């Protein structure tokens, strides 16, 4: 068996959550929340205790695995993943099933494992564990729709895993190198690796799996799902393909795709799911720009996005749990009996809209400034327009239709205290990071000297927000929600491919039946001929009296003796 060859041993931080997850089913009562908080806290301490570079090397076949490779990018993403696991565990522990909590911590731990992977093999192992863990999180909701969504989700990610594995194999065969470093998609292997990463990011044409799957999970399950899969994809793109120009149009497509579909949606959690695609599109675009400012912007945006998107989904999940309703047409006026939940939802909406003095403003402005500094006028204008679109669908539409708008007559109470505590933590972080951005800037991958609160930035952003707000309320009659179904690319594998598969099965079944009948007919003819030769009436089946047979045997025996004698 392989042996560890590094003298300085470093334990993989993600394994603390993966292995600790298996303790969750055996811990009950008040010890469970303590475990759910202590495991991520211990992982976070270890993340910041490890030195830069490889802390663990393991020989494997002809290669050396580096499962503990600490870097600025990995430390940043591992930090927010640990915070997310801790706060998500607090939000979930009272109402989430044991299966969901166990799967969620395996999911979170494997995401941290990806951020510390120094080689492609280790990355792929944690990548696939993450896919299985996230599938179990969806499945844990226990509904038929969740089960169907989890199977579609698993198929998409298994396809992505196969593409990624094919790319890694081709890359290793051509170069003999398994290290996970910056690369360009100039070979078939590297191109396949890029495609595998983009599938997890929700890039076209596989963006629909996010909105198809995440809203079918439990209220807490959706919160966990929003944090890890797409952000690990951002991390691997940030490390593996910085400055890859094809990412710019891909990212811009994701930005406007998410806005358009979110504006069309009636389901509050599908609105926020499409918003994930939109926000990740900003990050992918910034990675494609490839400057230190834009890469810092993508990393900072991912950090802040996990917090405010989880806050928005916590608010929506609280509404779903207390009302058992998820469509905007069935909601409204909930601020009257759920003021704390409404306040947290509004803070999350302000942060995602990049309102000054929130975390969204101090992170998104890095990306837009990077485009402007590089002279990419079209990209800058599109990102600025998209910022208005974000304010439309997530900043105004979600809180307006859920908590205000018409009075639905519903008067649900506030959610349990653990859910309110988790929302309070993330609301505080949204404002704290907006007021003290340098605390986040100090842990970004590259040194940064940037001031977000300039007059130009603030004025420009307020102009965008005011224009978007005016447009929303001026066009409010057109924004009225109706009971509609939004068709997306997932229609192909939910309906079209299913219909094709059904037709194929019917025709193949008919072909098999005809072929089987033809074969059986030929066999029956063969058996009939054999029966004619060997049956009771056949020539080989005719009988003779035993006396004549004895006589002939005696004659043959005497003849053989005589021949032998002479």
Domain map of the chain by residue range?
12-218, 242-497
Residue in the structure block whose two tokens are 């969740």: 146
User: Any bridge partners for residue 267, and if so which?
Assistant: 327
The DSSP letter of residue 413 is: P
CB 238 within 8 A of CB 245: no
pLDDT (average), residues 179-206: 92
Question: b/e per residue, 344-370, with b = 16+ CB within 10 A?
Answer: bbbbbbbbbbbbbbbbbbbbbbbbbbb
pLDDT confidence bin for 566, thresholds 50/70/90: low
Residue by residue, DSSP assigns 517-541 as HHHHHHHHHHHHHHHHHHSTTSGGG
- 486-491 long-range contacts (CB < 8 A, ≥24 apart) are 486/261, 486/264, 486/265, 486/270, 488/207, 488/208, 488/211, 488/212, 488/261, 489/204, 489/205, 489/206, 489/207, 489/208, 490/152, 490/208, 490/209, 490/211, 490/212
Task: Please check the confidence at residue 454 and state whether its pLDDT lies above 50.
Answer: yes
Nearest-CA neighbor of 410 among 342, 484, 309, 313? 342
pLDDT at 503: 66
Q: Above pLDDT 90, what percent of the chain?
A: 60
Helix (H) or strand (E) holding 447: none
Q: Say how far apart CA 213 and CA 274 lie, in whole Å.
A: 11
pLDDT in tens, 19-53: 999 999 999 888 999 999 999 999 999 999 999 88
CB 282 within 8 A of CB 364: yes
The DSSP letter of residue 24 is: G
Lowest mean pLDDT among 120-134, 244-258, 310-324, 403-417: 403-417
pLDDT confidence bin for 401, thresholds 50/70/90: confident
The span from the first CA to the last CA of the chain, in angstroms, equals: 76
Q: Say how far apart CA 311 and CA 267 lie, in whole Å.
A: 17
pLDDT (average), residues 142-147: 91
Task: Please check the confidence at residue 193 and state whether its pLDDT lies above 80.
Answer: yes
Helix or strand or coil: residue 53?
Answer: strand
Backbone φ/ψ region at 488: left (φ over 0), alpha (ψ -120 to 50), beta: beta
Q: Which residues contact 443 (CB under 8 A, 6 or more apart)?
A: 72, 75, 76, 79
CB 320 within 8 A of CB 419: no
Task: Please check the confidence at residue 485 and state whether its pLDDT lies above 90.
Answer: no
pLDDT at 432: 96
Greater confidence, 154 or 8?
A: 154
Lowest mean pLDDT among 58-62, 159-163, 365-369, 432-436: 58-62
pTM over 0.75: yes
Residue by residue, DSSP assigns 244-276 as -TTHHHHHHHHHHHHHHHHHH--BHHHHHHHHH
Task: Report CA torsion sign: 552, 556, 557, 558.
Answer: positive
Lowest mean pLDDT among 171-180, 286-295, 557-566: 557-566
Q: Say how far apart CA 241 and CA 185 lie, in whole Å.
A: 8
pLDDT at 1: 40
pLDDT (average), residues 221-247: 95
Lowest mean pLDDT among 252-266, 277-291, 317-331, 536-550: 536-550
Task: Please check the confidence at residue 202 and state whether its pLDDT lies above 80.
Answer: yes
User: Any bridge partners for residue 174, and if so which?
Assistant: none
pLDDT in tens, 87-133: 999 999 999 999 999 999 999 999 999 999 999 999 999 999 999 99
Greater confidence, 93 or 472?
A: 93
371: number of CA atoms within 13 Å, CB side?
24
Task: Please check the confidence at residue 8 and state whether its pLDDT lies above 60.
Answer: no
Nearest-CA neighbor of 3 among 61, 54, 59? 59
Q: Say how far apart CA 304 and CA 90 lie, in whole Å.
A: 19
Helix or strand or coil: residue 67?
Answer: strand
CB 322 within 8 A of CB 355: no
Task: Please check the confidence at residue 477 and state whether its pLDDT lies above 80.
Answer: no
pLDDT at 7: 41
pLDDT at 214: 93
Q: Say how far apart CA 449 and CA 374 lie, in whole Å.
A: 17
Helix (H) or strand (E) holding 66: strand 63-70
What mean pLDDT is reported for the chain?
Answer: 87
Task: Please check the confidence at residue 396 and state whether its pLDDT lies above 70.
Answer: yes
pLDDT confidence bin for 2, thresholds 50/70/90: very low
pLDDT (average), residues 292-316: 95
Q: Say how far apart CA 237 and CA 284 lie, in whole Å.
A: 8
Residue in the structure block whose two tokens are 């008067």: 411
Q: Which residues contact 456 (CB under 8 A, 6 or more apart)?
A: none
pLDDT (average), residues 377-388: 89
pLDDT (average), residues 242-263: 92
Task: Please check the confidence at residue 534 and state whether its pLDDT lies above 80.
Answer: no
């Amino acid at each position: 068996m392989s042996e560890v060859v590094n003298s300085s041993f470093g334990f993989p931080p993600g394994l603390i959550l993966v292995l600790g997850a298996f303790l969750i089913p055996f811990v009950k009562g008040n010890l469970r929340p303590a475990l759910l908080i202590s495991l991520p806290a211990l992982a976070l301490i270890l993340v910041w205790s490890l030195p830069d570079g490889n802390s663990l090397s393991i020989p494997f076949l002809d290669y050396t695995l580096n499962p503990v490779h600490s870097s600025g990018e990995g430390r940043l993403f591992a930090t927010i993943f640990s915070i997310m696991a801790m706060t998500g565990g607090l939000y979930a522990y009272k109402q989430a099933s044991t299966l969901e909590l166990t799967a969620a911590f395996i999911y979170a731990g494997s995401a941290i494992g990806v951020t510390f992977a120094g080689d492609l093999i280790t990355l792929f192992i944690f990548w696939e564990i993450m896919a299985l863990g996230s599938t179990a999180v969806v499945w844990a909701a226990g509904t038929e729709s969740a089960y169907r969504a989890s199977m579609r989700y698993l198929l998409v990610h298994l396809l992505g895993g196969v593409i990624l594995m094919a790319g890694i194999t081709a890359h290793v065969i051509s170069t003999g190198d398994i290290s996970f470093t910056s690369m360009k998609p100039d070979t078939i292997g590297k191109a396949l690796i890029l495609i595998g990463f983009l599938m997890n990011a929700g890039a076209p044409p596989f963006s629909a799996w996010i909105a198809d799957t995440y809203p079918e999970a439990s209220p807490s399950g959706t919160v966990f799902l929003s944090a890890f899969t797409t952000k690990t994809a951002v991390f691997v793109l940030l490390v593996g393909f910085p400055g890859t120009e094809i990412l710019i149009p891909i990212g811009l497509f994701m930005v406007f795709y998410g806005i358009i579909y979110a504006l069309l949606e009636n389901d509050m959690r599908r609105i926020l799911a499409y918003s994930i695609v939109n926000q990740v599109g900003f990050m992918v675009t910034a990675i494609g720009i490839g400057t230190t400012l834009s890469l810092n912007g993508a990393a900072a945006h991912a950090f802040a996005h996990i917090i405010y998107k989880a806050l928005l989904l916590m608010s929506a999940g609280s509404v779903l749990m207390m009302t058992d309703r998820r469509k905007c047409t069935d909601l409204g006026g909930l601020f009257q009996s759920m003021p704390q939940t409404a306040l947290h939802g509004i803070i999350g909406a302000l942060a995602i809209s990049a309102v000054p003095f929130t975390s969204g403003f101090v992170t998104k402005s890095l990306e837009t400034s990077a485009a402007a500094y590089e002279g990419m006028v079209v990209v800058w204008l599109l990102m600025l327009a998209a910022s208005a679109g974000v304010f439309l669908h997530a900043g105004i539409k979600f809180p307006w239709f859920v908590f205000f708008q018409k009075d639905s007559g519903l008067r649900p109470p506030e959610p349990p205290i653990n859910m309110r505590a988790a929302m309070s933590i993330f609301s505080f972080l949204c404002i704290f990071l907006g007021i003290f951005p340098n605390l986040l800037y100090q842990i970004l991958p590259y040194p940064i000297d940037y001031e977000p609160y300039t007059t130009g930035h603030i004025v420009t952003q307020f102009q965008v927000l005011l224009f978007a707000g005016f447009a929303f309320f001026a066009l409010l009659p057109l924004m009225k929600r109706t009971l509609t179904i939004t068709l997306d690319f997932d229609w192909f594998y939910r309906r079209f491919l299913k219909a094709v598969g059904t037709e194929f099965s019917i025709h193949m079944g008919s072909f098999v039946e005809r072929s089987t009948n033809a074969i059986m007919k030929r066999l029956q003819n063969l058996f009939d001929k054999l029966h004619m030769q060997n049956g009771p009436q056949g020539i080989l089946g005719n009988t003779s009296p035993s006396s004549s047979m004895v006589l002939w045997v005696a004659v043959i025996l005497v003849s053989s003796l005589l021949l032998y004698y002479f």
